[in-house]
Amino acid sequence: MRWALVKVCLAVTTMVVVAFAVPLGLVVKEMARDRAFSNAEREAAAVAPALSITTDRDKLERVVASAGADSGMAVHLPAGGARSALDLGRQRAADRDIQAVRKLGRASTTSVAGGSTLLQPVALSSGAIAVVEVYVPESETSNGVGTAWAVLAAVGLALIVGSVAVADRLGVRMVRPAQRLVEGAHELGEGKLGARVPEDGPTELRLAAVAFNSMADQVVQLLANERELAADLSHRLRTPLTVLRLNAASLGAGPAAEQTRTAVAQLEREVDTIIRTAREAKPQTVAAGPGAGCDAAEVVRERMEFWSALAEDEGRKWRVAGVERPVRIPVARADLAAALDALLGNVFRHTADGTAFALDVHNGEDAVIVLVSDAGPGIPDPEAAMARGRGSGSAGSTGLGLDIVRRLAESTGGDVRIGASVLGGTEVRIWFQLDGRKPGGRGHRGSVRRRRSGKLVSTFNRPRSLP
């Protein structure tokens, strides 16, 4: 593109220079010729008054000498009366040309060796016609023409060089952003997801760079979301694995029981490996789409029905409150179920058998709070537990469970906080915003109606089969 633009500019400028310089050069040459013949006419006019007064040879010679052009001027007087024809000076024009001018009575130019002559007729007092011949050398008709042509050529060449330089700079200004765009596309195609293009250059290329950077950001976000989805789906496998591990621990001794526990441990390690691998990309918050939502009370009842059977087997006291009426929140049902399973799974995984836990739902005008509490030892470093890629420090933790919950809450504009529970252990508070506030808000002001119904119970139904 750069050289094409240079060639086009070179061709156009050359045509313009030729179109103007050639006619201008011819005009300069013609002006020089006209100037030379104008001088010759003035010299001839200086002699005309003397011819109209006298035809004396001596007097005319003095007049010609005073004109300062005695070497290039000649006067041709016709014969008349007792006077014979008189020629003063060097004659260069042919006799027929002189006779033609005398006969026609008007000035004429004719070519001679080394230049041209001006033949100017002058009327004498006797009525006869004399002819004044002024020689114009070729050097006078071209005087200054060469210099003018050289100046025109230099100006034209300067215009061509300048236009090529300007075209080259414009080409560079256009080509460099295009080259950077190509290089960025190659880098992105090679898997360098951090490749971006500077947004400069002409408007069209700048808009192309903006579109490319936006596309690259979208690709990175999609890949990150894909990795997060893989990690989330893998983490959901930990819920049934927790149940299998706890059930396998109660099988007793024997080769079959030991093989089952070994297989469950191996499967759990494989799931952890998948989660750690999928978590390499930076997490991206993905909000629920338009119209997404679910009844939190129904999801809580369903998941507590699942976990209560396991709690009964381990002798854990449990409580659920605030689920008597529907509680709508703007998150998908499957995502809320995965978040609850992650928190309850952590309770079963990181607390001893017999540790009580509770799940409370508080419905407010602009927010819904879900509290998951336990009577375990608590979390010594809540900030580390909430940090991306870091768990609570317990063995077997991938650190993704709390992150799943956090991203789900932040997708609605809410947040997640860890504190001490009334049971003496850990309390995880999940704040779901209902008014569409942007994520990252702090200092919530929405009123929440606390509905703490129910209490810790120590009697349970008979064990149920786990789904």
State pLDDT tens for residues 203-249: 888 888 889 888 888 888 887 777 666 666 666 666 676 777 777 77
Three-class DSSP category at 290: coil
Domains: count for the chain: 3
Report the pLDDT averaged over residues 396-407. Answer: 71
pLDDT confidence of 270, banded at 50, 70, 90? low
Give the residue, 404 or 361, on which the prediction is more confident: 361
Judge if 225 and 357 occupy the same domain: no
Judge if 304 and 441 occupy the same domain: yes
- The DSSP line for 380-446 is S-HHHHHSTT---S-TT--S-HHHHHHHHHHTTT-EEEEEE-TTSSEEEEEEEESS-PPTT--S---
Q: Is residue 160 part of a domain?
A: no
pLDDT digits (tens, 9 = 90+) for 29-40: 889 888 888 888
Q: Is residue 197 part of a domain?
A: no
pLDDT value of residue 298? 92
For tokens 């040459």, the residue is 29
pLDDT digits (tens, 9 = 90+) for 277-308: 655 544 444 444 434 578 999 999 988 888 88
Give the residue, 201 or 394, on which the prediction is more confident: 201
Judge if 80 and 210 occupy the same domain: no
Spatial CA neighbour of 438 closest among 406, 404, 411, 417: 411
Judge if 291 and 226 occupy the same domain: no
- What is the extent of the structural domain holding 416? 287-467
Q: Is residue 395 part of a domain?
A: yes
- Centroid of chain to Cα 461: 66
Nearest 5 degrees, angle CA 410-CA 412-CA 416? 40
Give the residue, 76 or 444, on which the prediction is more confident: 76
Indicate the residue among 226, 260, 284 that finishes a domain: 284
pLDDT value of residue 432? 93
The CATH number that applies at residue 240 is 1.10.287.130
Report the pLDDT averaged over residues 106-111. Answer: 86
User: In this structure, what token pair is assigned to residue 205?
Assistant: 């290329």
pLDDT value of residue 172? 75
Q: Put residue 34 in one of left, alpha, beta given phi > 0 → left and psi -120 to 50 → alpha.
A: alpha
Indicate the residue among 130, 145, 160 that finishes a domain: 145
Judge if 117 and 140 occupy the same domain: yes
Indicate the residue among 251, 284, 317 that finishes a domain: 284
Judge if 250 and 292 occupy the same domain: no
Is residue 101 pLDDT above 90, yes or no? Answer: no
pLDDT confidence of 78, banded at 50, 70, 90? confident
pLDDT value of residue 357? 94
- Taking the C-alpha atoms of residue 1 and residue 7, their distance in angstroms, rounded to an integer, is 10
pLDDT value of residue 40? 84
Is residue 106 pLDDT above 70, yes or no? Answer: yes
Judge if 112 and 129 occupy the same domain: yes
Judge if 32 and 83 occupy the same domain: yes
Is residue 195 pLDDT above 50, yes or no? Answer: yes
pLDDT confidence of 379, banded at 50, 70, 90? confident
Report the pLDDT averaged over residues 162-185. Answer: 82
Is residue 453 pLDDT above 60, yes or no? Answer: no
Is residue 457 pLDDT above 50, yes or no? Answer: no
pLDDT confidence of 314, banded at 50, 70, 90? confident
Q: Is residue 353 part of a domain?
A: yes
Residue 117, beta-bridge partner list: 110, 135
Residue 60, beta-bridge partner list: none
Report the pLDDT averaged over residues 407-416. Answer: 89
Judge if 325 and 448 occupy the same domain: yes
Residue 145, beta-bridge partner list: none
Is residue 330 pLDDT above 50, yes or no? Answer: yes
Q: Is residue 106 part of a domain?
A: yes
Most confident of 54-58, 257-261, 308-312: 308-312
pLDDT value of residue 262? 73
Judge if 26 and 58 occupy the same domain: yes
Q: Is residue 168 part of a domain?
A: no
The CATH number that applies at residue 130 is 3.30.450
Q: Is residue 188 part of a domain?
A: no
For residues 209, 215, 219, 225, the Cα torsion angle rounded to the nearest 10 degrees is 130
Is residue 356 pLDDT above 80, yes or no? Answer: yes
Lowest model confidence (mean pLDDT) among 62-71, 375-384, 419-428: 62-71
pLDDT > 70 fraction of the chain, expressed in percent and rounded = 77
Lowest model confidence (mean pLDDT) among 12-16, 54-58, 154-158: 54-58
pLDDT mean across residues, the chain: 77
- Given a contact cutoff of 8 angstroms between Cβ atoms, the answer to whether 332 and 292 are in contact is yes
Judge if 291 and 321 occupy the same domain: yes
CB neighbours of residue 220 within 10 Å = 16
Q: Is residue 159 part of a domain?
A: no
pLDDT value of residue 68? 55
Judge if 263 and 317 occupy the same domain: no
The CATH number that applies at residue 309 is 3.30.565.10
